[in-house]
Structure 1
């Protein structure tokens, strides 16, 4: 039988940057041990931050993310017209469009089945993004 679970996770405000949130997601998913085989969908309910699954060991990865995405969508670019909410807002939306606002992850034997060096990142693209909400939806079979 397939079971469905859903939980909201409210994250504290993070500064602009790329922040590992794997532990917070796992801790919020108290239902994980009930699922033998399944999927976890992580949905970020915002348009100026994003999620990605990537290398979680070397901090230089985070600096390289920032350098790369800041070049793709620079703050204050003269061709951007959506500026009423600040010069960091439209670049934040563009970065979210490039990365995404959702992840779907496998669950195996009551745990997220991530690779050894994989971690879930909240990519905060605003200078003052505020609290971010994640909707965590899991489904799967239990033994």
Structure 2
């Protein structure tokens, strides 16, 4: 059991969610791998004049996904790619192969990861941890144009 002395919480903050700000981000991927979206998402938060609320990202595809992962050591991303490849290998003998041998594994990898993310915004900043970044994961071998809906709901400086 955890001692109450080892847990603390700051004062509550309450705002009216009076603004909804949205944008469509188009990302040209280089092919399989991780694309860091953190700086672009932080720029959206600034342009939206976001103060406090919830940021949602949603990818409009079934063979690419989103994740929040470590941003410090690039071997983490390589190991995650290898793990996904082991979980959904191209040579598994998939029935669905109309778009190539990497298509069905890409669908499985998307199912195992996420198509949407939520990140709190407080005092105008994304509340990501020190070592966290927002990534689009391209599961297909060839480059694609991927669309990510970014939406902030909450209080803005213009409210």
- Bucket of the pairwise TM-score, normalised by the shorter protein: over 0.9
> Which range moved further: 12-21 or 50-59?
12-21
Q: Which residue of 2 aligns with 1:7?
A: 23
Q: CA-to-partner distance for each residue in 1:9-58, whole Å, 9 max, x for gaps?
A: 111122201222211222244444x2221010000011100000011110
Aligned partners of 1:12, 1:38: CA distance in 2, in Å?
28
Aligned partners of 2:116, 2:27: CA distance in 1, in Å?
15
Q: Does 1:55 align with 2:70?
A: yes
Unmatched 5+ stretches in structure 1: none
- 1:32-47 counterparts in 2 under 5 A? 32=48, 34-47=49-62
Aligned partners of 2:45, 2:147: CA distance in 1, in Å?
14
Alignment coverage as a number of residue pairs: 141
Aligned partners of 1:25, 1:117: CA distance in 2, in Å?
16
RMSD: 1.4
Q: With structure 1 as the length reference, what TM-score do the two structures score? A: 0.92
Q: CA deviation at 1:63?
A: 0.7
Aligned partners of 1:30, 1:3: CA distance in 2, in Å?
14
Q: Which residue of 2 aligns with 1:117?
A: 131
Q: Is the 8 A contact 1:42 1:137 kept in 2?
A: yes
